[in-house]
Every structure is written in C-alpha cells, then in structure tokens.
Amino acid sequence: MTTFTILFAVSLVALIVRFIYNSKVKKSGFEVPEVFPQTWRDFLDQEIQFYKELKSEEKLQFESDIQRFLKRIRITGVKTSIDDEDRLLVASSALIPIFRFPEWEYKSLCEVLLYPDLFTEEYDFNGKDRSISGMVGSGGVMNNVVLFSKPALRYGFDNKSDKKNVGIHEFVHLFDKQDGNVDGVPSVIMRHQAVLPWLDLINKNMKEMLAGKSDINIYGATNEQEFLAVVSEYFFERPKLFKQKHPELYEALSSVFQNDLANR
Ligand SMILES: [Zn+2]
C-alpha cells in the first residue's frame, strides 16, 4: 500500500466518524459546551441548593460531572420542548446522590424522557387518573430509561423545604439498582455487616410512619426501596432537620452517600 493510499484511507475514516458524530448531535439537537457556561453556573446557584453550598473547588467538580453526564445520557422531551435548564435539573438530580463517587456511572441508564405532565403506568400523559411524576422504566426498551413529568421535576427544586424531590427520588432508585436489585439496599456501597442494622432501622421507622408518628412522607412505608428513595429526598433537601429529627437514619445515609451534609 502506498503512503498516499494509507493517508486517503485514514482521512476517509476520519470523515465518516465526523459525519456519524455530527448526525448524532443533530439528532439530539444538543452539543455539550466544552467550557461550562456562566448562565448554567448562575442557574445552578439559584436553583440547586446542594450546588450552592459546595466549596468552590467542589463546584468545579460538580460542573465537570454535569458535562460528562450530558455527553453520555440523552435527554429527550416527549411532546414537549426542553431547554438547558431542564437538562441541568436532570443532571443535578442524577449527580447529587453520587457526588462523592466521582467514577460512578449509572450503568443501566441511556436516556431520560421528559413528559409534559403527570403520566400513568402505561406512559399516558393525556387521559384520566395520571398520578406518576417520575419512574425508572422497566421491561424491553424502557429498561434503560428514566421518565419524569417536566413540571414535577422543576417543582422538586423550586420547593426547597417540603423534603420532596422527584428527581433525586428516581435517581436514588437507580443508585439502588446498580447492584442488580432495586430493594432498598445499595449493596455496591453498603458494607455487608451494615445491611441487617439498616433493614432493622427501616422496619422501626416504617412502624412509626404507619402509626402517624413520623414526619417522613408516608409513601416511604410502601416497601424498602421506596423507603430508601423517600428518606434520601429528605436527607438531601433538608439535611440539618433530618439529622435533628432522625439521627440514626442520618448516620446511615451519610455513610451510604459518603456525605455529611448537615455539617458542611
Ligand atoms: Zn419510588
């Protein structure tokens, strides 16, 4: 093969790669900026309490985590348009629980879908009896997808005191799923000897919740996985209050997420 032929082949391959890349960017209509935009930073400061309270070098880490997340995960609006703020809310929801695990990737996730409103188990967002604001997809093509109602996702961050955040809730389910099971026990992180005490703690708290003696959202008493997701919302949104009211749970969650949020 002559040098010319080799050069020609290499250029051809480069052209094809470029073409595929461009068509992908066109398809999603979004390219992640290489330099983190100031408008994004301002938005995070205003909307994401978790980010706002980070030290400046940690903010830089959060920003580069966002860029990495958005490069890997497609975010698609279904019958609704999406903008950079929606993308930042999705990425923040995903990154807050795993902030202390810089190498973490949600292995099972490929795409996040944003719906215009609440939806049903059949992904219907028009008919009656729609009550779902977020969901980890399961079965067939939905296996690698997380879905949100766009207004509900936004409301989770707008209301900073209600101990609820659907974005964090669903990504904690995915965090839990990393070991293969959504069961309220994140075994990838939790040491073996911590599992039984954790299950006991869940049990004890569920009893209090069902007896109306707890300020934890009663939905968390549905089962162990919902318990983990619900208390995580509380932990990340109101860490100081959570520590004060539920010191044992606070200790357990700060160990799971490697983050002593109430004391920063
Ligand atoms: Zn849930």
Asked if residue 87 has pLDDT above 50, the reply is yes
Q: Is the pLDDT of residue 233 over 50?
A: yes
Write the class of the CATH domain 8-162.
Answer: mainly alpha
C-alpha to C-alpha distance for 246 and 70, rounded to whole angstroms:
35
pLDDT, greater one: 143 or 17: 143
Ligand 1 center to residue 225 CA distance, Å? 7
Name the 3-class secondary structure at 136: strand
Q: CB of 169 within 8 A of CB of 157?
A: no
CATH of 179-264, one of 1.20.140.10, 3.40.390.10, 3.40.1440.60, 3.30.420.40: 3.40.390.10
Q: Strands of the chain (E only): list them.
A: 74-77, 111-115, 134-136, 145-149
For residue 170, the CA-to-ligand 1 centroid distance in Å is: 6
Mean pLDDT to the nearest integer, 8-29: 57
From ligand 1's centre to the CA of 3, what distance in Å?
60
Q: Is pLDDT above 50 for 43?
A: yes
Distance, CA 47 to ligand 1 centroid (Å)? 23
Mean pLDDT over each residue of the chain, to the nearest integer: 91
Q: Is the pLDDT of residue 23 over 50?
A: no
Distance (angstroms) between ligand 1 centre and the Cα of 108 equals 17
Is the pLDDT score of 248 beyond 50? yes
Domain residue limits, the chain: 8-162, 179-264
62 alpha carbon to ligand 1 midpoint, in Å?
25
Q: How many helices (H) and strands (E) does the chain have?
A: 11, 4
CA distance 63 to 36: 7
Q: What does the pLDDT read at residue 127?
A: 86
Sequence letter at residue 124: D
CA-CA-CA-CA torsion sign (132, 133, 137, 138): negative
The whole model's pTM is what?
A: 0.88
CB 248 within 8 A of CB 178: no
Q: pLDDT (tens digit, 9 = 90+) per residue, 164-204?
A: 999 999 999 999 999 988 999 998 888 889 999 999 999 99
Burial status of residue 24 (CB atoms within 10 A of its CB: 0-12, 13-18, 19 or more): exposed
Ligand 1 centroid to Cα of residue 193, in Å, is 25
169-199 b/e (C-beta count within 10 Å ≥ 16 → b): bbbbbbbbbbeeebebbbeebeeeeeeeebe
Least confident range from 120-124, 147-151, 230-234, 236-240: namely 120-124
Cα(166) to centroid(ligand 1), Å = 8
